[in-house]
Homo-oligomer: A and B are copies of this chain.
Amino acid sequence: MTESILIVEDEISLQETLAYSLKKEGYAVEVIGDGRSALESARKMRPDLIILDIMLPEMDGFEVGRILRKEMSAAILMLTARDDEIDRVVGLEVGADDYLTKPFSMRELLARVKAQLRRTRLLREEMRQTGISEPKHETLKFENLTVNLTRREVTLNDEPIQLKPKEYELLLFFAEHKGQMLSREFVLERVWGWDFIGDSRTVDVHIRWLRQKIEKDAANPVRIVTVRGGGYRFEG
Residues of chain A touching chain B, judged by Cβ–Cβ distance below 8 Å, are 83, 86-87, 89-91, 95-99, 105, 107-108, 111-112, 114-115, 118-119, 122-123, 125-137, 140, 150-153, 164-166, 168-169, 176-181, 186, 227-230, 233
Contact, CB under 8 Å: A123 / B125: no
Contact, CB under 8 Å: A177 / B114: no
21 A–B contact pairs at CB < 8 A? A87-B111, A89-B111, A90-B112, A98-B112, A119-B119, A119-B123, A123-B123, A126-B132, A127-B129, A127-B130, A127-B132, A130-B132, A130-B177, A132-B134, A135-B180, A152-B181, A152-B230, A164-B229, A165-B228, A165-B230, A168-B229
Min CB distance A228 to B, Å, is: 6
A230 to B153, CA, bound (A): 11
Question: Which of B83, B97, B132, B169 sits near A119, CB closer than 8 Å?
Answer: B97
CB neighbours of A127 from chain B (8 A): 123, 126-127, 129-130, 132
Min CB distance A56 to B, Å, is: 21
Contact, CB under 8 Å: B115 / A179: no
CB neighbours of A180 from chain B (8 A): 128-130, 135, 150-151
A28 to B178, CA, bound (A): 32
A30 to B194, CA, bound (A): 30
Question: Which of B83, B130, B179, B229 sits near A179, CB closer than 8 Å?
Answer: B130
CB neighbours of A133 from chain B (8 A): 131, 134
Min CB distance A79 to B, Å, is: 14
Q: A128-B180, A131-B136, A229-B164 are in contact. Are A96 and B123 (CB under 8 A)?
A: no
Contact, CB under 8 Å: A179 / B165: no
A168 to B143, CA, bound (A): 30
Contact, CB under 8 Å: B164 / A125: no
Q: A134-B131, A179-B137 are in contact. Are A233 and B152 (CB under 8 A)?
A: yes
Min CB distance A62 to B, Å, is: 15
CB neighbours of A126 from chain B (8 A): 123, 126-127, 132
Min CB distance A168 to B, Å, is: 7
Contact, CB under 8 Å: B98 / A98: yes
A173 to B35, CA, bound (A): 45
CB neighbours of A136 from chain B (8 A): 130-132
